């Protein structure tokens, strides 16, 4: 387990670890799986790996959780692109079910989105409906909508985004022969941004990695931005309990940001109960970085609006000027760092 903060070289670690396995370790590239959360991140890692190893192609599998798991389902069930439920179809199905089972709630503007989120949560956490209490509607209404949605997808032979994970878990749970075949295929597994993994993704990765457990994870235990998708920071914090033989390596040098920037982020983390190690923030000081302004708003959207609004244009002017006034979001550490890096 590699614990690493922003700008400490997490992607480089995965790229060079993969290269080491193939070059020095004699590991077949086709037996290595590198998995992350976005297609852009997977493509970047593959591109950097090819450049680092001076190759034009590789047998290493770089992909997202959904992409890799769906590939497994394709081979098992013969699924194709036509089996993937579009967002438009999903909304149509849910709208019909809401009108049928919860008509009095259909007038609430965000009710459909709330129901969709709860369906996703139930699937990703593998929660039994007997033990789930809906926060957006009466439990019986939610159960009817959930079962109706599941029925509609089965009849249409469709999978939604969450089913790609859930069906893969169920496949491996029921068909140990298929699981064993993929274990032989992927004997070395590397996971990026592990702090954002949810229960279902973690369960499938553990199934794939056993019994060799050649699992190499990289993450930042001070951040997690996908809680709305079921991400659980407890997975990385409790990793050593699940894998007591795991070796822990810490990357404590930030190569991307100046001391003033990371000090501001540090103060935010401290308010969450974390105390980052000082060594992580040994960076060169930017002399013209004078001021830090904390901007308080009730949500990140309004905070962002304040930054780009005309009434606060002087903030942006100062970014370009000699004073270098830096706005700091209170709610989102990731947003702080992205803004200050000019993204």
pLDDT per position as a tens digit, 263-284: 777 777 676 654 444 434 444 4
- pLDDT (mean) for 233-250: 92
What phi and psi, each to the nearest 5 degrees, are found at residue 83?
A: -90, -5
From CA 208, how far away is CA 181, in angstroms rounded? 10
The SS3 call for residue 189 is strand
What phi and psi, each to the nearest 5 degrees, are found at residue 325?
A: -70, 130
Distances (CA, A) of 222 to 116, 193, 318: 29, 11, 30
Kindly report, residue by residue over 184-201, the tens digit of the pLDDT. Answer: 999 999 999 999 999 999
Residue 296 has pLDDT above 80, yes or no: no
Sheet holding 32-36, edge to edge: 61-64, 32-36, 188-191, 215-219, 2-4, 249-251
Task: Give one word for 273, left, alpha or beta, with left for phi > 0 and alpha for psi -120 to 50.
Answer: left
Distances (CA, A) of 331 to 123, 182, 193, 212: 28, 41, 20, 41
What phi and psi, each to the nearest 5 degrees, are found at residue 220?
A: -115, 110
Which residues does residue 249 pair with via DSSP β-bridges, in sequence order?
2
DSSP codes, 118-137:
HHHHHHHTT--GGG---SSS
- Contact of 186 with 61, CB cutoff 8 Å: yes
- pLDDT (mean) for 113-142: 93
* pLDDT computed for residue 342 by the predictor: 54
Supply the pTM of this predicted model.
0.76
Residue 316: asked if its preceding bond is cis (omega within 30°), the reply is no
Which of these, 40, 35, 31, 26, lies nearest to 59 by C-alpha position?
31
- Contact of 189 with 205, CB cutoff 8 Å: yes
* pLDDT band, residue 8 (cuts 50/70/90): confident
The answer to which of 74-88, 101-115, 243-257 has the lowest mean pLDDT is 101-115
């Amino acid at each position: 387990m590699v614990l690493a903060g922003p700008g400490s070289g997490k992607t480089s670690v995965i790229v060079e670890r993969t290269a080491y396995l193939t070059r020095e370790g004699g590991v077949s590239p086709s037996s290595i799986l590198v998995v992350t959360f976005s297609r852009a991140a997977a493509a970047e890692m593959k591109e950097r790996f090819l450049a680092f190893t001076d190759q034009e192609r590789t047998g290493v599998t770089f992909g997202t959780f959904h992409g890799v798991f769906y590939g497994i389902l394709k081979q098992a069930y013969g699924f194709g692109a036509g089996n993937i439920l579009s967002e438009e179809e999903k909304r149509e199905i849910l709208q019909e079910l809401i009108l049928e089972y919860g008509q009095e709630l259909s007038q609430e503007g965000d009710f459909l989105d709330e129901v969709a989120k709860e369906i996703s949560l139930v699937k990703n956490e593998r929660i039994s409906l007997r033990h789930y209490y809906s926060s957006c509607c009466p439990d019986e209404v939610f159960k009817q909508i959930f079962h109706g949605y599941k029925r509609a997808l089965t009849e249409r032979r469709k999978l939604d985004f969450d089913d790609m994970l859930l069906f893969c878990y169920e496949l491996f749970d029921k068909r140990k022969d298929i699981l064993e075949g993929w274990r032989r295929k992927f004997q070395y597994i590397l996971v990026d941004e592990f702090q954002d993994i949810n229960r279902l993704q973690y369960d499938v990765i553990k199934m794939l990695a056993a019994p060799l457990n050649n699992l190499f994870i990289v993450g930042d235990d001070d951040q997690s931005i996908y809680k709305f998708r079921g991400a659980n920071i407890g997975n990385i914090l409790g990793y050593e309990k699940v894998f007591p033989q795991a070796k822990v390596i810490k990357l404590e040098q930030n190569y991307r940001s100046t001391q003033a920037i990371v000090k501001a982020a540090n103060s935010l983390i401290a308010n969450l109960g974390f105390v980052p190690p000082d060594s992580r923030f040994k960076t060169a000081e930017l002399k013209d970085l004078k001021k830090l302004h904390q901007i308080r708003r009730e949500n990140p959207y309004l905070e962002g609006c304040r930054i780009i609004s005309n009434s606060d244009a002087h903030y942006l002017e100062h970014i370009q000027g000699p004073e270098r006034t830096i706005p700091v979001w209170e709610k989102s550490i990731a947003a702080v760092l992205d803004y200050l890096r000019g993204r």
